[in-house]
């Protein structure tokens, strides 16, 4: 042991050619390991981290691409479905009364009430309110009749040639003579409040939908 240590200590680094063969091999191995380790530390290590980062980015981009590709493949069917829905909506709107038909429709509703035996103490149409693609017209009313007569009125309005939509707002239904009992089929009832009927807007009519601003305009 001591002899080997002395031999290693006595090695002359200025004359490596005189070293024993095993020391030459060992020294070369150590030198190669140092060079390789230094090269990895100063050059390869950073590149490895960068490569791992790029691989993660590639994975994320691939997932994003697959997601967008799936959306793009469904875009055309969705556009077709939207066009069909818009066409169906236009067809439904065309079933509503037009502007020229609205006055006659109001008369038909009033006449239907009279035909069923209801007494119209108040039937006052109000001003129209245009919406995005339709207009609503309120009607203030107060009618008196029996339970059966009100049912016949609703059935008569539903059977009019045009599609008639009536929505009720602030409606009160009560016995005309409270002393005669509650709501029964043979007791006169009073219905008071506001109903709204609707029509579609012609293309040239203004709506409540805001118009897009012109570029450069104020």
Tell me: the pLDDT tens digits for 77-101?
Answer: 888 888 888 887 777 777 778 788 8
Tell me: the pLDDT tens digits for 177-199?
Answer: 766 555 555 678 888 999 888 88
The tally of domains found in the chain comes to 2
Across 58-79, average pLDDT? 81
Does residue 1 lie in a domain region?
Answer: yes
Residues 121 and 196 in one domain: yes
Q: For the chain, what percent of residues have pLDDT higher than 90?
A: 8
Across 60-88, average pLDDT? 82
Residues 39 and 56 in one domain: yes
Domain end position, chosen among 41, 63, 94: 94
Residues 41 and 78 in one domain: yes
pTM: 0.52
Does residue 215 lie in a domain region?
Answer: no
Could you tell me which residues come within 8 angstroms of residue 42 by beta carbon, excluding any fewer than 6 positions away? none
Whether residue 214 has pLDDT greater than 60: no
CATH of the domain at 106: 3.30.70.60
Instruction: State the residue range of the domain holding 178.
Output: 102-200
The C-alpha atoms of residue 142 and residue 124 are separated, in whole angstroms, by: 9
Residues 185 and 107 in one domain: yes
Residues 89 and 20 in one domain: yes
Percent composition of the chain: helix, strand, coil (DSSP 3-state, to 5): 50, 20, 30
Residues 14 and 50 in one domain: yes
The C-alpha atoms of residue 56 and residue 142 are separated, in whole angstroms, by: 73
Does residue 142 lie in a domain region?
Answer: yes
Residues 169 and 153 in one domain: yes
Residues 58 and 81 in one domain: yes
Counting DSSP H helices and E strands in the chain, the numbers are: 5, 5
Does residue 115 lie in a domain region?
Answer: yes
Classify residue 52 by its DSSP letter: H
């Amino acid at each position: 042991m001591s002899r080997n240590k002395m031999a290693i200590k006595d090695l002359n680094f200025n004359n490596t050619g005189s070293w024993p063969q095993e020391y030459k091999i060992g020294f070369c191995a150590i030198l190669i390991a140092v060079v390789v380790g230094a090269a990895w530390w100063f050059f390869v290590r950073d590149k490895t981290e960068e490569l791992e980062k790029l691989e993660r980015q590639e994975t994320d981009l691939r997932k994003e691409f697959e997601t967008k590709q799936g959306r793009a493949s469904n875009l055309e069917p969705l556009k077709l479905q939207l066009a069909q829905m818009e066409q169906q909506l236009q067809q439904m709107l065309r079933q509503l009364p037009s502007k020229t038909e609205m006055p006659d429709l109001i008369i038909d509703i009033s006449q239907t009430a009279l035909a069923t035996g209801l007494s119209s103490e108040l039937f006052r149409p109000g001003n129209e309110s245009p919406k995005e693609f339709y207009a609503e017209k309120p009607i203030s009313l107060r009618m008196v009749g029996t339970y059966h007569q009100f049912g016949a009125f609703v059935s008569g309005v539903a059977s009019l040639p045009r599609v008639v939509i009536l929505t009720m707002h602030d409606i009160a239904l009560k016995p005309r003579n409270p002393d005669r009992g509650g709501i029964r089929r043979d007791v006169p009832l009073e219905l008071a409040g506001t109903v709204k009927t609707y029509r579609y807007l012609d293309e040239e009519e203004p709506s409540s939908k805001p118009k897009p601003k012109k570029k450069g305009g104020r």
